[in-house]
């Protein structure tokens, strides 16, 4: 391929979520490269259990935007892909598979995450930008209906892709001492957490946002039921029953 790709580590360390895009389309050559990157990721037990649905239909994009908390870029981004755990593909080949074990869906989720990160890293190395859309799971049943998903599939997240129309600063992530232990689990150092929180506050202050912290993010997400509809829907799809 004649495409120019930036070095891997430099690309990774400059990751930002991009939510504003130019109107320039992603070229067929770039999209083919992203598909190749997607297929090149590691996969649990060679199951290859991820399905990408590229959503180009305008009406479907509008419907998915409503599911995704009205996020404009779900509709406006040049590319919107949905990553799906897919065991229907396996059922077509081997009729007696047991896809309803929790472990099967864990493997499927791992595969989807690896594939998607390969896609986003490759996209960023080519000068594109993107962001994950977990809000797709706000109404996972509606998303599945819009995409005509069969049994033994589960949409896990979306991804917007395109040429960036913004240049946000890099969000500070946890320093290694707060997520790396050696030999045994080690509790995090309170002073290190406090120092990190100051970095997060400075980041949001630079963005002109209200003061926010990592603790705020934790409270916002984990101090309430977390999409309780996901388990019954997964079970309805023939997954996570045992």
CA nearest neighbour of 206 among 174, 173, 171, 175 = 171
Give the C-alpha separation, 221 to 237, whole Å: 25
Q: How many CA atoms lie within 13 A of 215 on its CB side?
A: 10
pLDDT above 80: residue 210? no
Residue 85's φ and ψ, nearest 5 degrees, are -70, 125
Average pLDDT over residues 132-158: 98
Give tens-digit pLDDT for 213-242.
Answer: 999 999 999 999 999 999 999 999 999 999
| Weakest mean pLDDT among 4-13, 141-150, 169-178, 205-214 | 205-214
- Report pLDDT digits (tens) over 158-206: 999 999 999 999 999 999 999 999 999 999 999 999 999 999 999 998 8
Q: How far is CA 165 from the centre of its chain?
A: 20
How many alpha carbons lie under 13 Å from residue 188 in its C-beta half-sphere?
A: 14
In order of start, what are the domains of the chain with their CATH numbers? 8-168+225-236 (3.40.109.10), 169-211 (no CATH)
pLDDT band at residue 207 using 50, 70 and 90 as cut-offs: confident
**CA distance linking residue 201 with residue 190, whole number of Å:** 16
* Per-residue pLDDT reduced to its tens digit, 89-128: 999 999 999 999 999 999 999 999 999 999 999 999 999 9
- Whether the model clears a pTM of 0.75, i.e. scores above it, the answer is yes
Whole-angstrom Cα distance, residue 64 to residue 146?
A: 8
The answer on pLDDT for 9 being more than 70 is: yes
Per residue in 56-80, pLDDT (tens digit) is 999 999 999 999 999 999 999 999 9
Mean pLDDT of the chain: 96
Q: End-to-end distance of the chain based on CA atoms, in angstroms?
A: 45
Contact 157, 133 (CB under 8 A): yes
Cβ 213 vs Cβ 200: under 8 Å: yes
Confidence at 156, pLDDT banded by 50, 70, 90: very high
Is the confidence at residue 1, as pLDDT, over 70?
no
């Amino acid at each position: 391929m004649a495409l120019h790709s930036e070095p891997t580590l430099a690309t990774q360390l400059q990751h930002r979520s991009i939510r504003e895009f130019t109107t320039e389309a992603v070229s067929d050559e770039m999209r083919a490269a992203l598909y190749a990157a997607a297929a090149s990721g590691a996969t649990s037990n060679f199951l290859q259990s991820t399905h990408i649905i590229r959503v180009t239909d305008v009406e479907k994009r509008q419907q998915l935007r409503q599911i995704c908390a009205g996020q404009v870029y779900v509709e406006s981004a040049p590319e919107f892909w949905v990553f799906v755990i897919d065991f229907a593909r396996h059922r077509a080949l081997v009729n007696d598979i047991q896809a309803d074990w929790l472990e099967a869906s864990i493997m499927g989720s791992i595969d989807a995450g690896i594939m998607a990160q390969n896609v986003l890293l490759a996209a960023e190395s080519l000068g594109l930008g993107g962001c994950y859309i977990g809000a797709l799971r706000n109404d996972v049943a509606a998303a599945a209906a819009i995409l005509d998903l069969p049994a033994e599939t589960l949409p896990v997240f979306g991804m917007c892709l395109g040429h960036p129309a913004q240049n946000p600063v890099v969000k500070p992530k946890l320093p290694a001492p707060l997520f790396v232990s050696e030999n045994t689990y080690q509790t995090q150092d309170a002073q290190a957490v406090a120092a990190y929180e100051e970095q997060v506050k400075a980041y949001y202050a630079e963005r002109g946002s209200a003061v926010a912290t990592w603790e705020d993010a934790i409270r916002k997400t984990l101090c309430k039921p977390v999409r309780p509809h996901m388990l019954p829907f997964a079970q309805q799809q023939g997954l996570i029953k045992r």
